[in-house]
Every structure is written in C-alpha cells, then in structure tokens.
Amino acid sequence: MTKKALLVGINDYAPVGAGGPDLRGCVNDVRDVANTLSVLGVVSPSPRTMRILTDARATRAAIITGVKWLIKGAKKGDVLIFHYSGHGSYVADVSGDEVDGRDETICPHDFATAGMIKDDDLRLLLAGLPAGVNLDIIFDSCHSGSATRATLDPAPEEQVLVSRYIEPPIDWGFFVDAEPSLPVRGLLKSRASEVKKAAVEEAGLNHVLWAGCRDNQTSAETLIGGVYRGVFTYHFCKALRGAGVGITRKRLDAQVSTNIRGAGYSQIPQLEGSKASLVEMVFT
C-alpha cells in the first residue's frame, strides 16, 4: 500500500515579495499538516512520499504536476492526500456543467499570469483514478463571492481575520455576478452539496472532499497562539492528532465543526464523499 501527500501553501502571491494579494497563515498550515501526517504515521516525511509546494514554487504548472505525481500509479488501497491552503475564487462556467454558472478555482502563486486552477481541471486530472484508492482532498480556501474581511492593524487575536478569497477580474466574473440569485457551490462539490448537511453523501465520488467552509462562506486565517494559521486547518490537525487515525471521517468532521464553532468562528466546514467513505477511518 502506497501513502503519499501533496501539500500546497501560498502566502506570497506574485510578484514575489510585497505587492501581491498575500496571506500569512498558509505556509504554517502546510507545516502543521506535514507534522501531523508524520507524527501519526500516515505519510512518511520523505521527498519520495511527501511533496511540499509553497509560495513562488507553488505555480500553476507545479501544482498540476504535483497532482499528477500524487495519483500516478495509484492502485486500490493506496492512501493519497492533497492539501491546499491559499486563495480561492471562481470564473464563469462556459461548458454549461455547473448549476450555479461558476467554475470554482484555487489560486496558484502565478494565477494573475498563468491562470487559476478550475474545478474542471481537477476533475479531469482525477477522472482516471482507479476504484478503491483513498484520496482525501482538503481545501482551506474560499469558494464564494462574499465580501472579504481584513484588518492588519494590531488587535486581539479573535478580531484579526483575513478571508482567503480573490475577487475575479471583470472578464471572468462579470457574467456570473450578473446572476446574483444563483447559488454558490464549493470547489469540486456536487449538486448534492447544496443541501446544508454536516456531511454530504455522493454515490460514485472517487475522492473525499474536506472544505474549510460551506458553499456561501469564506475560509479565514487569523492569529492563533500568536501565529497566523488557517482556522480550518488548525482545528482539523488538532482534532486529528487528538483522536488519531482510528476516528471515522464523519466523526472527525463533526469534531472539527464543533471546535470551530466553540472557538467563535462562523465558518462551517463541509465534508463530501460516498456513503462508505464517510464512515471509514480517516487516512487508512
């Protein structure tokens, strides 16, 4: 059985250094996930089994190459993990396959010149994944058109919230914004996920999706213990380390949601997968 992980975290958006729509907690998220997977024995901390892309190295081409590396040679029983922390956005759907008229996206370091990575791109990459492969996709980013909240002035930790959302350029977003009544869906989420459930069952899905927030929300990063972190990733790793890999995905999702709510944050994580995958033990 092969166990591999692709971990992507982007604080520094092009241009390198000050000037891009930069974040602060995404590289810390990657470090937290890498340590958690290593400590729990899920994925060995080796370049052969764990690939890490941060900041300027997390280009569109590098992320796509990383996903191809992750699933190459995958077979039944393998455990694969793709974690992304960074900005999310959307573009107008031109293929007509999205009920909300949007293709949700993640934003590589060079998205302004190379383009975003659409949900259609990821679905195409994953289309040939063999049955029985355990692929968990974890996104700590925004997938909605909600206005961002950001304050960089000194303030109590619970008030320093930055939304991981990029407003799409007018040539990408105008046609979607013209239909404000359309529902907003999350990246790689099925139509079934429009129903607000703690965990969404989707028959035939060839991966499990963990999203940092519901369809119409934003994922936040903030100071936690004096360190900038993604709210979802922090609580996900903390709950997983506490429970170990003997916990089911559904129970872990419930625990993470409870902890985030208890900490006073409004975002609600979303878990999506087949009925069988939701009750399986996580990362096994």
- Order of strands across the sheet that contains 50-54: 50-54, 3-9, 79-85, 134-140, 208-211, 270-273, 199-201
Q: Per the residue annotation, which of 107, 142, 213, 237 is the catalytic one?
A: 142
Please indicate whether residue 143 is annotated as part of the active site. Answer: no
Q: Per the residue annotation, which of 26, 83, 87, 143 is the catalytic one?
A: 87
Q: How far apart are CA 181 and CA 62, in angstroms?
A: 36
Please indicate whether residue 237 is annotated as part of the active site. Answer: no
Which tokens is 218 given?
A: 């934003």
Q: Which residues contact 243 (CB under 8 A, 6 or more apart)?
A: 251, 252, 255
3-state secondary structure of 278: helix
- Order of strands across the sheet that contains 227-230: 161-163, 220-224, 227-230
Active-site residue numbers?
Answer: 87, 142
